[in-house]
Each structure stands twice: as C-alpha cells, then as structure tokens.
Amino acid sequence: MILSSSSLNKREAMINMTYHLRLVSLLPVLLACAVAWDSEPVPLPLVIWHGLGDSYQADGIKEVTQLAEEVNPGTYVHVIHLEESDGGDRQATFFGNLTEQVAHVCDQLASEPILSTAPAINALGFSQGGQFLRAYIERCNSPPVRNLVTMGSQHNGIFKFQSCASAGDWVCRGAEALLRYGTWSDFVQSRLVPAQYFRDPQEYDSYLEHSNFLADINNEREEKNTNYRNNLVSLNRFGMFMFEDDTTAIPKESAWFAEVNQTSGEVTTLRERALYKEDWLGLRTLDEQEKLDFKTVPGPHMQLTDKVLTQIFEEYFGPVEVDNGLPHLLVKQGP
Ligand SMILES: *[C@@H]1O[C@H](CO)[C@@H](O)[C@H](O)[C@H]1NC(C)=O
Ligand SMILES: *[C@@H]1O[C@H](CO)[C@@H](O)[C@H](O)[C@H]1NC(C)=O
C-alpha cells in the first residue's frame, strides 16, 4: 500500500498555505487556527516514532499511516525521521546520542507548521520509539501530547541485546561490533542507541552512573526532574501495550515498566516499585486517575494486524471537541 498522490498533494497544499499565512502576518494564522480547531470534533494530528531497524519511508509505516487516516478521516500523520534519506533514518535507529536525537525531534515537531499550530497531538511509538516519545513529552512536550500509545516499548530498558536478524545486515553488525567496547563506556553510551536503554538490575550502580538516557528519563537518579513528572501527568491517556509472546524485547514486561530479575525470573510490577510509589514520573497519579492502561496484544514483537491497530486508533486517536475539551491548550497557543 502506498499513499495516494492526491492525498500527498493536499497535504503539501495545506503546508504551503500555513507557511504563506505565517509570512503575511501573525493574525491570520491565529484566525486560521481558531477556524480550524474550533468547530466540529476533529482528530488531532498523529505523530509516529518507528522502531529499531525501521525507516520512516518503509512500506509498513506507510500502511500504518494510511490506516490511521482511514479509521479517523482527517487525521494528519507525521512520521518522525532523524535523517531525510531512508538509509540514514534507519541507521539513526542504531547509532547516535539519544540526548541529541530527542532534542532534534523536539525541534522537528515544534517547527512543523501543522503540528505546531494544533492545540495538541496524539503520539504512537513502536518499540524503542515508545520510550523516545515519552522522552519527548518529558523534555519538551511542545506541541503537547494528548494521548500516548506505546507498543512493545522498553520503558524499563532491556537486559539483553537483540542479535542481528541476518549476517548481511551491516548496520546491525556494526552496532554489535561497537558493543565490544563495553556497554557502560562513554564511547558506546554516546553512539549506540540500544545501549542507552540497557538496564540490568544486577548492574544497577553502573547503570545509574553511566546510562546516557534511561536512568535520566525514568528519573531514577537522586535528583528528580519535576518537569518530567509534570509533563507526563498532563497526558489525557497513556496506553502501554505489551506483546504476549515477545521474545525480541527482553524482558517483554518492560513494556509495562515492570522489573524482571534475570536469574530468578521474578517480575516486580510497576505498582510494586519505588518509581511508582514515590511517583517519580507521575505514573501513579495517572493510574489513580484511570489514565494509565496496561494492555496486551497477542503474538510476537510488533506483529500487528490491521484489526488491532484499528481498535487502538478508534480508542485513542478518535475525533475530539477541541474547543470544549482542551481550552487550556488553546490558551497556551497564544503569541
Ligand atoms: C550526548 O550528547 C549530549 C548533548 O550533546 C552530551 O552532553 C552528552 O555528554 C553526550 N553523551 C555522551 C555519553 O557522550
Ligand atoms: C535475583 O534473584 C536472585 C536469586 O533469587 C537473587 O540472588 C538476586 O539477589 C536477585 N537480584 C536482584 C537484583 O534482586
């Protein structure tokens, strides 16, 4: 399935129009927004962050985009990309410094004409893209996210690296080779993406000291970042989906922020953890307001059917009355 050229043209026309309005003066932009966001319920724009080894132009991502538009007509979809080229974007899922990657995405979303003038956006993260979107919310959240859905994400990290699917995958092989320098070296932490969400409770001190990403966005260090908590608490809903037979993201319970003891296999659920009890990220607050969903999907990692996706799009990304539902967000949009 490929996006029809007519819908692409329409989108370009919309973008061009918004640019044009911006150039003329600020007032028409504000009026245009009021007109666009102040009437019938509309679906908010949807932002997608894809997973490891994928690219924003991959056929699977295009199919998901098309389905999102079919289920909730009028949905504007933006697929996050770190590089313009297909190969470069895929490579950036293995290599890079996540601090810089998340900052880049903050700039991308804040400068995208349609997203930045929307009262809010929805967000869908596939696998590692899920914890990265959460980092976007914690660190930037401008435009603000209303509903976040993460699929098979590694919110509590991984304690085992995925082996490459094929010997001919040189990008993946390169990442494996990098690991030889040691997970906790600055060299690896600044360059290898999965190492930055590696978390083994058996090596907790090294993790706290050296993790370039996860220990920070999970607010596990002594000094807590209250912005992270405040931004996550502003979510309307956070749906965490775990694949029942996931053998790729290890442990799969990480999708629900659970901690697993690699030796004994014992699972400590989110609600039993200090992260929750002391509400480092606002997850307890969200849970008490019934805004935190623990959901499962049958099957292995990221084996998604149209049926499952359709249900998710209906449940989380449907039309909303922007004027009544999100007045505070509209106020925030002021000049
Ligand atoms: C990652 O990038 C940030 C921002 O440029 C930098 O401060 C940090 O030291 C980098 N991480 C590592 C492990 O080098
Ligand atoms: C994991 O379980 C083993 C065996 O029960 C135990 O000895 C070890 O202390 C546990 N590790 C952690 C980090 O809790």
- pLDDT tens-digit readout, 292-335: 999 999 999 999 999 999 999 999 999 998 764 453 443 333 33
Q: Which ligand is nearest to the CA of 103?
A: 1
Is residue 98 within 8 Å of 133, Cβ to Cβ?
Answer: no
pLDDT number for residue 38: 56
- Taking residues 117-139, what's their average pLDDT? 97
Pocket test for ligand 2, best of 156, 260, 261 (most atoms within 8 A of CB): 261
Q: Which of these, 226, 219, 241, 237, lies nearest to 296 by C-alpha position?
A: 241
pLDDT number for residue 168: 86
Catalytic residue among 54, 89, 246, 279: 246
Q: Which atom of ligand 1 is nearest to the CA of 103?
A: 4
Pairing of β 259-260 and β 267-268: antiparallel
Task: Say whether pLDDT at 9 is over 70.
Answer: no
pLDDT number for residue 167: 82
Task: Say whether pLDDT at 51 is over 60.
Answer: yes
Catalytic residue among 50, 78, 210, 301: 301
SS3 call for 164: coil
Q: Is 246 a catalytic residue?
A: yes
Is residue 140 within 8 Å of 115, Cβ to Cβ?
Answer: no
Asked if residue 212 has its Cβ within 6 Å of ligand 1, the reply is: yes
Q: Is 169 a catalytic residue?
A: no
Beta bridge partners of 186: none
Query: Which residue carries 């999970």 as its tokens?
Result: 218
Q: State the helix-helix crossing angle for 306-316 and 59-71, rounded to 10 degrees.
A: 50
Q: Is 200 a catalytic residue?
A: no
- Taking residues 236-254, what's their average pLDDT? 96
Q: Which of these, 189, 211, 190, 212, lies nearest to 201 by C-alpha position?
A: 211
pLDDT number for residue 37: 54
Task: Say whether pLDDT at 148 is over 70.
Answer: yes
pLDDT number for residue 166: 85
Q: Which of these, 64, 5, 31, 9, lies nearest to 313 by C-alpha position?
A: 64
Collect all residues with Cβ–Cβ distance below 8 Å to 28 and sequence separation of at least 6. 21
Amino acid identity, residue 132? F
Distance CA 28, CA 202 (A): 58
Q: Which of these, 175, 168, 26, 36, lies nearest to 93 by C-alpha position?
A: 175
Select the more confidently predicted residue: 75 or 332.
75
Question: How remote is the CA of residue 170 from the centroid of ligand 1, in Å?
Answer: 25
Pocket test for ligand 1, best of 212, 213, 214, 217 (most atoms within 8 A of CB): 212
Q: What is the mean pLDDT of the chain?
A: 88
Beta bridge partners of 125: 49, 150
Question: How remote is the CA of residue 99 from the centroid of ligand 1, in Å?
Answer: 7
Asked if residue 262 has its Cβ within 6 Å of ligand 2, the reply is: no
Catalytic residue among 127, 153, 211, 254: 127
